[in-house]
Structure 1
Amino acid sequence: MLDFATFYELQALYSDYAMACDSAEWEKWPDFFVEEGTYRLQPRENFEQGLPLCLLALESRAMIRDRVYGVKETLYHDPYYQRHIVGMPRVIAVDGDTIRAQANYAVMRTKYDGEATVFSAGHYRDEIVRTPAGLKFRSRLCIYDTEMIANSVIYPI
């Protein structure tokens, strides 16, 4: 069980993460993770069958920073806005300074000259740890519901 202050901090972590992604503040994205933090994007079917294949698997903050560099400097794509809608985190377990939580999400994508569409929907399964700088993700697993994503994933989910 979490005290109110810690739950509020957990909620802030989720909302700050979404706002950084939605505001295209990519340089902030790695700071949500501990140094050995992981970020994975996996289809629901693979997750439910215990299959390890992920669409994207970043195994450290350094790899997450490299992805930021790619997004900002090397990847060519049709630009778009995105908007995260994230449900209230559900605390699964607390063990010392480690919190396991999950939350539903939907990400809307809007091309500069088009309408908003649902780009991805699913849920996060997170392991969060307390650090001197506050709560950080040790692992973030984004499990998306459909086997297909309409286009390549450029920005973080």
Structure 2
Amino acid sequence: MDASLYVELCQLYAKYAEVTSNGRWEEWPDFFTDECIYKVQPRENYERGFPLATLSFISKGMLHDRVYGIRETLFHDPYYQLNVTGLPLLKAKEGDVLKVEANYSILRTKLSQETTVFNVGRYLDEVSMTPEGMRFKSKLCIYDSEMIPNSLIYPI
């Protein structure tokens, strides 16, 4: 991988973290190809080959539905979310698809409360190089804890 391609990959991850940290949910589906996979899954289930995931979407349309749910139908205590993502590590390249891994930490701050660590883990991604730029073909968010406090509202 040449340096300019790696910079583009780093920009993809940095922009993803920016959008998910600033609640710009309408932009979130634009990071994905039309036919995509987005899963949030406990590490134990992933490592044991169990398919059960906390969230599982299989198309960009489902991502748009989630955004609609966040904005229009889900009721919850408001909070801020900060996505801290490590540098992406290129694991393999197969044609126009990059296999990438990156660690992440999600910090949550509820109004008038201290910031807490909400979720930590790693992204196991497939990134497609498209004419529009790099897009996630698959994003697996494998989190370390077996439990998520309360509920998972916002994408990680």
> What TM-score do you get using the length of structure 2 for normalisation?
0.99
1:21 aligns with 20
Aligned residue runs from structure 1 range 89-108, under 5 A: 89-108=88-107
Gaps of 5+ in 2: none
Secondary structure at the counterpart of residue 150 of structure 1: coil
Distance 1:74 1:115 in 2: 27
Q: What's 1:150 paired with?
A: 149
Work out whether 1:138 is the aligned partner of 2:131: no
For the residue of structure 1 that corresponds to 2:12, the secondary structure is: helix
Letter in 1 for 2:88: P
Percent identity over the alignment is 51
Secondary structure of the structure 2 residue equivalent to 1:72? helix
What stretches of structure 1 move > 3 A for 4+ residues in a row? none
Amino acid at match of 1:61: K
* Unpaired runs of at least 5, structure 1: none
TM-score (norm 1): 0.98
Cα shift readout 1:39-87 (whole Å, capped 9, x = no counterpart): 0000000001011110000110000000000001110000100101111
Per the TM alignment, residue 32 of structure 1 is displaced from its structure 2 partner at its CA by: 0.2
Aligned mates of 1:73, 1:63 — CA distance in 2: 15
Spell out the pairing of 1:1-150 with structure 2 (5 A cutoff). Answer: 2-150=1-149
**Aligned equivalents of 2:150, 2:99: Cα separation in 1:** 30
